C-alpha cells in the first residue's frame, strides 16, 4: 500500500467547512439580521491565499542562477588547487605531504564554517551573508596570490580563511531556494542550482592545470579573486533579500540596508504596517537538527553516497595515468569532464522529475479524497504537512538511481583494472555523475522540506557530514586500492551503500510519524502562555 493511501480518516475539516444551519423560526428583526449576517459570513468565499513567493518565474531563475554561481566556489576553490600542489611544494621548498596539509585544513574548515554562516543567514538574512562570504573569499585569494614563499604558516592560514569564505555559499544557496520556491517546484530549482556544487570538483582540476601550466600557480588565486569579486558585485547590485522571516513571500520591503542598489527584482513589494512584519527569530542551534531521526538518517546515507562519489573523482588522475600511459596531464584533466557532464545533464533532468513526482502524488491524493468522503479532507488541503507524504514523493525513484550508481561504480572499477578502451570508464563516469547528482538532489530537496525555516542550517549540517565522510574516504582510498585492487575497491564501497539502502524504506515508512510528533510538540509549545515558554 502506497503512503498516499494512508490518510487518516479521523482528520477533521476546518470549522468553516461545515454547513451552517439557519434556524427556521423567525424572531425579532434584530435576531433575523444577525442570522443574515452570520449566514453571509459563513457562505462568503474564502479570501484568495497568498502566493508562496511574489517573484516571477524569470526572477526566481535569476536568483537561483546567482546562488548557483556563488555555490560553485565551494568545490572550485578546493579542487582548482590540486594540479598546482607539486609546483607549490617546489616554490615553498616544502614536501608534498606538508602542502597536502593545506588541503586537509581546507576540508576541515569547509565542513565547519557553514554551521556558522548558515545559522546567521537564518537570523540576519541571506543577502549580507552571501556578500560577506564573497568578500572574505576575495581577500583570502589576494593574500594567497601574494603570499611569500618563505611563509608556509601564512599559506596554511589563508587557506583556512579561503575555506571560511567559499564553503558556506552552498548552505546559503539552499536557504534561498527554500525561501522563494514552493515544495511543488523545488526539485527543478535544486536541480539547476546543484550544478555548481557538483560540477566544481570536475571542472576545477582542468582549470587549475591550465592556469598553473600557462600563467603560474599564483594565477589560480587571481582568477578566483576576480570571479568572486564579479559575483559579489552582481549580488550588491541585483540580489534581493529573500529570508521569509524578514520579507515574508517577498511582498514586504526589507530594511534599507538590505535593498539591492538596482531593485529591479521583485517589484511587488507592498507597504505594510510594522505589526504585519513576520516576527524575527532568535538564533537556532543547528545541531538540534541532528536530533530529528529522519534528518539524521538522510544526512548519513546522503554522505555515504557522496563519499563514494568523492572517492571516484579523487582517484581519476592516479588511476587513469598508469592505466592509459599515453595520456598527458592535460588529457587526464579533460577526463574529469565526463563525470561533470553527467552531473550537469542529470541535475537538470532529475529536478524536473522530482517536480513531476510531487504533482503525481498530489493528483492521486486528490482523487482519493474526492472518491472517499470518509477521509473528511478538502482537496485543496492535501498538500498540507499533516496530509502529504513528502518522503514518498521525494524518495520513490531514489532506489532506481542508487542501482544505477552502484552498477556504474562497480563497472568503472573493473574496467580500469582490466584496462579496457578508455571510452568504457568515461561512459561509466557519465552514469556515475548522473545517478549521484540525482540522489543528491532528492536528498537535498527533502532536507529542506523537512526544515523549511532552517534551509541554510540544515544544508550546513548536510555539508558537515558529507565533507567529513568524504575526507575520511579520500584519506584511505589509496590504501584500499593497494590492498584490494581497483575492481574490488569499488565493489566494497558500492556494497556499503547497498547495505544501508533500506534507509529509503525506513524514511518512507516512519518519516511521516516522526514529522507528526514534531508537529504536535510545536503546537503544544505554541499553545503555552508566553511566560511559561520563557
**Separation CA 107–CA 105 (nearest Å):** 5
Q: Is the pLDDT of residue 497 over 90?
A: yes
Cell numbers representing residue 415 in the block: 574496467
C-alpha 270, offset from chain centre: 30
Contact 111, 198 (CB under 8 A): no
| 81 contacts 131 by C-beta, under 8 angstroms | no
Spell out the domain ranges in the chain. 52-279, 284-523
pLDDT in tens, 226-245: 999 999 999 999 999 988 88
User: pLDDT tens, 129-156?
Assistant: 999 999 999 999 999 999 998 988 999 9
* The pLDDT of residue 412 is above 90: yes
CATH number of 284-523, picked from 3.20.20.140, 3.40.50.300, 1.10.3710.10, 1.20.1250.20: 1.20.1250.20
Report whether 456 contacts 174 (CB < 8 A).
yes
For residue 383, CA distances in Å to 53, 189, 214, 359 come to 17, 19, 55, 10
8 Å CB contact between 302 and 477: no
* pLDDT at res. 277: 57
Q: Which three cell numbers stand for residue 92?
A: 615553498
In 194-292, where does DSSP find H-type helix? Answer: 195-215, 218-238, 244-247
Question: From residue 261, how far is each of 9, 165, 175, 232, 325 by CA, in Å?
Answer: 53, 23, 22, 12, 54
Neighbours of 283 (CB within 10 A): 10
pLDDT reported for residue 278:
58
Average pLDDT, the chain: 80
Q: Which residue carries 616544502 as its cell?
A: 94
Mean pLDDT of 294-308: 91
Nearest-angstrom CA–CA distance, 174 and 447 = 10
Calculate mean pLDDT across residues 295-313: 90
Categorize the per-residue pLDDT at 4 as very low, low, confident or very high, splitting at 50, 70 and 90: very low
| Three-state SS sequence of 85-152 | HHHHHHHHCCCHHHHHHHHHHHHHHHHHHHHHHHHHHHHHCHHHHHHHHHHHHHHHHHHHHHCCCCCH
Of 236, 328, 243, 304, the C-alpha closest to 277 is: 243
Q: In this structure, how many other beta carbons lie within 10 angstroms of the beta carbon of residue 1?
A: 5
59, 265 in Cβ contact below 8 A? yes
Tens of pLDDT, residue by residue over 88-105, are 888 888 887 787 778 778
Give the mean pLDDT of 416-444: 91
How far, CA to CA in Å, does 366 sit from each of 359, 369, 370? Answer: 10, 5, 6
Among left, alpha and beta (phi > 0; psi -120 to 50; other), residue 248 is left
What is the average pLDDT across 441-452?
Answer: 86
Q: Do 284-523 and 52-279 fall under one CATH topology?
A: yes
In the numeric block, which cell numbers belong to residue 215? Answer: 600563467
In the numeric block, which cell numbers belong to residue 134?
564573497
Mean pLDDT of 349-374: 84
CATH no. for 52-279: 1.20.1250.20
Tell me the whole-structure pTM to 2 decimals.
0.75
Write b or e for each residue in 225-237: b if 16 or more Cβ atoms lie within 10 A of its Cβ, otherwise e.
Answer: bebbbebbebbbe
Q: How many residues does the chain have?
A: 534
Q: Name the burial class of residue 47, with classes exposed (0-12), middle (13-18) and buried (19+) by CB atoms within 10 angstroms of its CB.
A: exposed
Amino acid at each position: 500500500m502506497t503512503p498516499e493511501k494512508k490518510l487518516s480518516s479521523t482528520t477533521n475539516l476546518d470549522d468553516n467547512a461545515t454547513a451552517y444551519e439557519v434556524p427556521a423560526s423567525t424572531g425579532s428583526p434584530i435576531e433575523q439580521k444577525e442570522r443574515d449576517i452570520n449566514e453571509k459570513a459563513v457562505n462568503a468565499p474564502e479570501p484568495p491565499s497568498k502566493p508562496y513567493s511574489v517573484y516571477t518565474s524569470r526572477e526566481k531563475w535569476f536568483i537561483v542562477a546567482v546562488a548557483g554561481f556563488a555555490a560553485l566556489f565551494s568545490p572550485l576553490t578546493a579542487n582548482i588547487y590540486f594540479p598546482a600542489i607539486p609546483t607549490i611544494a617546489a616554490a615553498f621548498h616544502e614536501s608534498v605531504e606538508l602542502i597536502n596539509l593545506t588541503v586537509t585544513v581546507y576540508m576541515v574548515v569547509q565542513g565547519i564554517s557553514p554551521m556558522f554562516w548558515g545559522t546567521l543567514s537564518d537570523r540576519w538574512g541571506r543577502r549580507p551573508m552571501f556578500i560577506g562570504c564573497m568578500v572574505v573569499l576575495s581577500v583570502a585569494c589576494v593574500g594567497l596570490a601574494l603570499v611569500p614563499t618563505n611563509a608556509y604558516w601564512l599559506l596554511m592560514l589563508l587557506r583556512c580563511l579561503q575555506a571560511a569564505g567559499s564553503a558556506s555559499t552552498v548552505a546559503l544557496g539552499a536557504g534561498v531556494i527554500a525561501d522563494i520556491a514552493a515544495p511543488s517546484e523545488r526539485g527543478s530549482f535544486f536541480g539547476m542550482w546543484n550544478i555548481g556544487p557538483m560540477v566544481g570538483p570536475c571542472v576545477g582540476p582542468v582549470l587549475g592545470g591550465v592556469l598553473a601550466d600557462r600563467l603560474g600557480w599564483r594565477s589560480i588565486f587571481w582568477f578566483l579573486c576576480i570571479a568572486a569579486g564579479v559575483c559579489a558585485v552582481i549580488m550588491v547590485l541585483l540580489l534581493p533579500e529573500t529570508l521569509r522571516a524578514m520579507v515574508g513571500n517577498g511582498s514586504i520591503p526589507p530594511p534599507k540596508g538590505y535593498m539591492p542598489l538596482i531593485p529591479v527584482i521583485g517589484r511587488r513589494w507592498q507597504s505594510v504596517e510594522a505589526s504585519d512584519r513576520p516576527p524575527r527569530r532568535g538564533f537556532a542551534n543547528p545541531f538540534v537538527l541532528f536530533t530529528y531521526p529522519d534528518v539524521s538518517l538522510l544526512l548519513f546515507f546522503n554522505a555515504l553516497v557522496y563519499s563514494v562519489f568523492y572517492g571516484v573523482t579523487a582517484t581519476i588522475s592516479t588511476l587513469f595515468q598508469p592505466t592509459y600511459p599515453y595520456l598527458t596531464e592535460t588529457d587526464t584533466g579533460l577526463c574529469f569532464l565526463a563525470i561533470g557532464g553527467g552531473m550537469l545533464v542529470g541535475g537538470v533532468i532529475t529536478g524536473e522529475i522530482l517536480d513531476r513526482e510531487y504533482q503525481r502524488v498530489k493528483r492521486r491524493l486528490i482523487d482519493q479524497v474526492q472518491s472517499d468522503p470518509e477521509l473528511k479532507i478538502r482537496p485543496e488541503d492535501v498538500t498540507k504537512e499533516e496530509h502529504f507524504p513528502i518522503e514518498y514523493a521525494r524518495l520513490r525513484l531514489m532506489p532506481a538511481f542508487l542501482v544505477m550508481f552502484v552498477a556504474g561504480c562497480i563497472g568503472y572499477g573493473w574496467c580500469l583494472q582490466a584496462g579496457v578502451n578508455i571510452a568504457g570508464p568515461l561512459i561509466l563516469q557519465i552514469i556515475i555523475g548522473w545517478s549521484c547528482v540525482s540522489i543528491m538532489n532528492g536528498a537535498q530537496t527533502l532536507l529542506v522540506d523537512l526544515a523549511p525555516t532552517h534551509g541554510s542550517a540544515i544544508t550546513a549540517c548536510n555539508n558537515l557530514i558529507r565533507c567529513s565522510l568524504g575526507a575520511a574516504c579520500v584519506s584511505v582510498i589509496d590504501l584500499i586500492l593497494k590492498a584490494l585492487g581497483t575492481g574490488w575497491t569499488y565493489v566494497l564501497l558500492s556494497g556499503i551503500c547497498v547495505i544501508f539502502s533500506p534507509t529509503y524504506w525506513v524514511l518512507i515508512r516512519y518519516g511521516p510519524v516522526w514529522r507528526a510528533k514534531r508537529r504536535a510538540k510545536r503546537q503544544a509549545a505554541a499553545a503555552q502562555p508566553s511566560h511559561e515558554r520563557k
